[in-house]
Structures are given as structure tokens and as C-alpha cells.
Amino acid sequence: EAGVAQSPRYKIIEKRQSVAFWCNPISGHATLYWYQQILGQGPKLLIQFQNNGVVDDSQLPKDRFSAERLKGVDSTLKIQPAKLEDSAVYLCASSLASWGSTDTQYFGPGTRLTVL
């Protein structure tokens, strides 16, 4: 079974530039998450999708971050404009999403963003 795919793996941009990250979840997984992981900390949720609808985006800085999941499969996370504090690893995860069960979340390798 193929895992969660993310691209690019690394990205370096200057502040105020735009950047986009792509995620392809495991086939059949209805729930998709984007997490941000700052160096030395655990991942923190940015947004959760159930199919192509947003379940939770309360921690997404909406003035600069946006995300979409068209057709309930692939997802794109965008930052525009980037700030220095956005330097982090952006992780995508997916799960089958069975309410009341203990679904495992499967994580991609992440995209390491450096903002100069």
C-alpha cells in the first residue's frame, strides 16, 4: 500500500513570497490533516478535511494560509505572503475516519520550508 505522498520535500523562499505544498493521501482515506511542526516542538494541527469539506480550521492563520481539497482526494496548502516564523516542517496525514473507532493516522514525510 502506497503511503502519504508530499511534495516538494524542501523549499526555500524569501519572506513575502508565496509557496504551495501538495499532499496525496492514502487511497480511500476520507480524512486529511495538515500539521505544522516548528523545530523542537511536536506537530500542531492547521486544518482537517473530511472528504472535501473542512472540519476544523480554527488554528489556521487565515490571513495568510489557505488550503483546499478538491474532489476529496489531493490537497494543497498555500502560504501567501510567507513570514520568517512560517519556517517549519509541514506534515500531511490521512486516516480512514471511522467515528468512534481508533483510526491510525498515516503521515507523509513532510515539506521543510525555510523562509529567509
Partner 1 sequence: DAKTTQPNSMESNEEEPVHLPCNHSTISGTDYIHWYRQLPSQGPEYVIHGLTSNVNNRMASLAIAEDRKSSTLILHRATLRDAAVYYCILSYSGNTPLVFGKGTRLSVIA
**Under the rule (CB under 8 A), what is the footprint of partner 1?**
4, 31, 33, 35, 40-45, 48, 50, 56, 91, 93, 95-110
| Complex with partner 1: residue 81 or 107, whichever CB lies closer | 107
- Given a contact cutoff of 8 angstroms between Cβ atoms, the answer to whether 12 and 88 are in contact is no
CB of 58 to partner 1, least distance (A): 10
| Complex with partner 1: residue 17 or 57, whichever CB lies closer | 57
